[in-house]
Amino acid sequence: MAKKNFRRSNGKGSVVRLSGNRRQPFEVRVNTRMDERNYPVYDVLGRFEDRDNAMQALLEYNKDPYDLNNNKLTFASVYELWYQQKYVKSKKKYSASSIFCTRGAYNKSSELHDKLIKDIRTQDMQRILDNYELSHAYMEHIRNLFRSVCKYAMQYDYIKKDYSEFISITKADDDQPGVPFTDEEVQKLWDNKDKPFVDTILILIYSGWRITELLTLELDNIDLEQKTFKGGIKTTAGKNRIVPIHSKIFNMVKLRYECNYGSFICDDKPIMEPHSYYKYFNEALTSAGVNSDHTPHDCRHTFTTLLDNAGANSTSIKRLVGHTSGGDVTEKVYTHKSIEQLRKAIELI
């Protein structure tokens, strides 16, 4: 004899066996609201292959009832809710570079956009972080985005477990291949410094900024009186680091600062995207007569090579490019003395 539908006490829901030949015939129904006649209206919690699993799901739900609409929230919809709370409704003002990096990280996570937030697991997020075609910098932003969105989802009971705490970046920092510019190539750049965007290549070579760091450098963080930049968007050691402006590029920096287009390097938009800059970068190399294949990251390699060849100490080099040694967890504090030490190192080039 077939078992009857199991009904719990009023308001606790029920397990119902559906008619027909179904793979998951046991439907769990929970009372979530009342209709206009004041009768309880149920929503479907889920369907199961056997009664025991259905009963277990109902018991778990009644231990901690939640809004079943949360089951329909995708990563994209939770991201939008989080973004609105963090960047739109918050009284705190965030920099354009912070918003730029957040949007970039979200775009790089497109395979999760339509996935239900409750179904996302460690391996789903880790798979994106294991895409070695991405730079380490982008991986940092993506990991931070996952942790922020999952924390928000936990706060509002959209998920029961935060799987983002188990993800990690396995790619070594700054392992992008690169070939430093030769002395002859650097001289060609100087000989053609007045041609469009050649100055940006020299600024990269004499500052060590990553391309995204330079593109998102805000004018408020350029101190012409103290002759320093302040920027960085990656690790704790890399963020908000101060880099003295080398005397050879000071006039270039000053000119771009005084143009005041809204950001340090731009074309027709407040912030130039890296892929747009590559076009100008390559055109500038050609106009300067540099025929070797180079990328903007090669400028960073050139910077560290020039410092090393000039005899700068390793601590200053690491600090200038935003690296820390293995066990160095000392808080980064910039004093006048430490800035002058960095200036002394950078002027060795």
- The string of pLDDT tens digits covering residues 32-41 is 667 777 777 7
CA–CA dist 336, 227 (Å, integer): 12
Tokens 């939770």 belong to: 78
Cα 193 to chain centroid, rounded: 33
> pTM of the full predicted structure?
0.57
For residue 322, which of 334, 337, 311, 310 has the smallest C-alpha distance?
Answer: 334
Domains of the chain: 6-65 (no CATH), 75-166 (1.10.150), 183-346 (1.10.443.10)
Contacts 24+ apart (CB under 8 A), 321-329: 321/174, 321/208, 321/238, 322/232, 322/234, 322/235, 322/237, 322/238, 322/239, 322/241, 323/173, 323/174, 323/237, 323/238, 324/235, 324/236, 324/237
Q: How far is CA 118 from CA 32, 124, 265, in A?
A: 20, 12, 41
Write down the mean pLDDT value for the chain. Answer: 83
Indicate the length of the chain as a whole number.
349
Q: Give residue 55's identity as a one-letter amino acid code.
A: M
Structure confidence by residue, pLDDT tens digits, 166-181: 999 887 665 556 789 9
**Does residue 327 register a pLDDT over 50?**
no
Structure confidence by residue, pLDDT tens digits, 105-133: 999 999 999 999 999 999 999 999 988 77
Contacts 24+ apart (CB under 8 A), 15-21: 15/51, 15/54, 15/55, 15/58, 17/51, 18/47
